[in-house]
Amino acid sequence: MRTAKSVESAFERSKRIIRERGGLIRTAEAIKAGVHPRTLYALRDAGVLEQISRGVYRLAAQTPMSNPDLVTVAVRFPKAVVCLVSALAYHGITTQIPHSVSIAIDKGSESPRIEYPPVSVYRFSGESLSAGVEEHMIDGATVRIYNTEKTLADCFKFRNRIGMEIVLEALKLYKTRKRPNIDKLMEYARICRVEKVMRPYLEATV
């Protein structure tokens, strides 16, 4: 029979394991680390953990999350890369408020299944998928996001889906808020095969 002391010990050990992982953990990771599912659910029911998505838990005592949608998607789909309007918003070069998290995945990958937050999936391949990826620590989670210049090149590539007005606004804000790196922009433009499309706008804007 489990005593109150043993339950408390299991609670404390589980909390320590979760804290060591930045206060955020998936059910599968918790079980692998030695946290019994019963303990995980008991911590949730006691208000020690909050469930931010299916199978993703966070210590409730931590400061409020700055970007819960990006973190939730990154934890659920660690290979995905935040792109396009979501990446523009992260880098501060758009006035748009993303209504979904835009993510890039490999063309051969299965589409992510998630109830919340909503995601917009874009399929990349080869160097267009791997180039320009940065890793940012957000709310205790590692989030993969394309850098500013790669994001702009991607926006030109998907201009018909996101709207040219968003692309041109981002380019203008990039010019005023960042140190424009034309060589870097053109490098990613070549990778994304939008060099000819992008060049006239760069010459006119930057």
Residues 140 and 164 in one domain: yes
Q: What is the 3-state secondary structure (H, E, C) of 80-98?
A: CEECHHHHHHHHCCCCCCC
Residues 168 and 134 in one domain: yes
Could you read off the pLDDT of 45-96 as tens digits, one per residue? 888 888 877 778 878 777 777 788 999 899 889 999 999 999 999 999 999 9
- The strand pair at 81-82 and 101-106 is best described as antiparallel
Least Cα distance to 86 among 130, 119, 53, 132 occurs for 119
- C-alpha dihedral (144, 62, 85, 152), degrees to nearest 10: -50
Residues 40 and 90 in one domain: no
Confidence check: pLDDT of 176 > 50 = yes
- State residue 1's pLDDT score: 45
Which of 37, 59, 81 marks a domain boundary? 59
Tokens of 106: 């490999």
Residues 120 and 25 in one domain: no
Look at the pTM and tell me if it is higher than 0.75.
yes
Question: What residues contact 190, with CB distance under 8 A and at least 6 apart?
Answer: none
Residues 22 and 107 in one domain: no
Confidence check: pLDDT of 159 > 50 = yes
Residues 107 and 43 in one domain: no
Residues 46 and 86 in one domain: no
Q: How many domains does the chain have?
A: 2
Residues 197 and 144 in one domain: yes
The answer to whether residues 103 and 80 touch, using CB atoms and an 8 Å cutoff, is yes
Residues 72 and 13 in one domain: no
Which of 42, 59, 76 marks a domain boundary? 59
Q: Give the least confident one: 21-25, 136-140, 152-156.
A: 21-25
d(CA 68, CA 46): 22
* Most confident region among 2-16, 104-118, 132-146 by mean pLDDT: 132-146
Residues 192 and 163 in one domain: yes
Counting other chains too, the contacts that 45-53 makes at CB distance below 8 Å and 24 or more residues apart are 48/11, 48/15, 49/18, 52/24, 53/114, 53/115, 53/116
CATH code assigned at 150 = 3.30.460
Residues 91 and 166 in one domain: yes
Parent domain of 110: 68-205
Query: Mean of the per-residue pLDDT values for the chain?
Result: 87
Cα separations (Å) of 159 from 70, 109, 145, 155?
Answer: 22, 23, 19, 6
